[in-house]
């Protein structure tokens, strides 16, 4: 199975929102093969708890503007690892320590990477 164009569009919207809030090390994985109910994971790193919260909030807002509601969210209060389930897309926004510790890229290393096109940032950004 391969991610749909609709899922790739959700990944692009979520990635742009994360990038706009200072999200780092964005990686999108096509998990449609091993997972029957999810097409893609988006992994994002935030600099601190406030940044993790801001990134996750903005992703939810931008997807809601497109008519996509979250199914569930976990971890927002702690701000260390926020998981947001949008159905075909699951977004993981990590504090960098949690990202390294849990290593989802290692767990899902056999899954294809979905390219993410983000605008280039100037030195002033």
Integer CA distances (angstroms), 96 to 26, 105, 107, 116, in order:
12, 13, 17, 20
pLDDT of residue 113: 96
pLDDT of residue 118: 86
pLDDT of residue 120: 74
pLDDT of residue 124: 53
Tell me 93's DSSP state.
Answer: E
pLDDT of residue 2: 75
How do the pLDDT tens digits run along the chain, 125 residues long?
678 899 999 999 999 999 999 999 999 999 999 998 999 999 999 999 999 999 999 999 999 999 999 999 999 889 899 999 999 999 999 999 999 999 999 999 999 999 999 877 645 55
What does the alpha-carbon distance between residue 60 and residue 88 come to, in Å, rounded to a whole number? 14
pLDDT of residue 3: 81
Order the strands of the 113-114 sheet from edge to edge. 72-74, 81-85, 89-95, 40-46, 24-30, 113-114
Of the candidates 90, 55, 48, 51, which has an alpha carbon nearest to the alpha carbon of residue 73? 90
- Domains, the chain: 5-114 (3.30.460.10)
pLDDT of residue 121: 65
Quick check: helix, strand or coil at residue 41?
strand
């Amino acid at each position: 199975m391969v991610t749909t164009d609709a899922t790739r569009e959700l990944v692009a919207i979520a990635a742009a929102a994360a990038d706009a809030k200072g999200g780092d090390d964005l990686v999108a994985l096509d998990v449609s093969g091993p997972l029957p109910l999810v097409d893609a994971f988006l992994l994002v790193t935030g600099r601190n708890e406030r940044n993790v919260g801001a990134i996750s909030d903005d992703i939810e807002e931008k997807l809601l503007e497109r008519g996509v509601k979250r199914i569930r969210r976990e971890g927002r209060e702690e701000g260390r690892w926020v998981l947001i389930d949008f159905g075909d897309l699951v977004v993981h926004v990590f504090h960098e320590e949690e990202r390294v510790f849990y290593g989802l890229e290692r767990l899902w290393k056999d899954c294809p990477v979905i390219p993410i096109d983000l605008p280039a940032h100037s030195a002033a950004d």
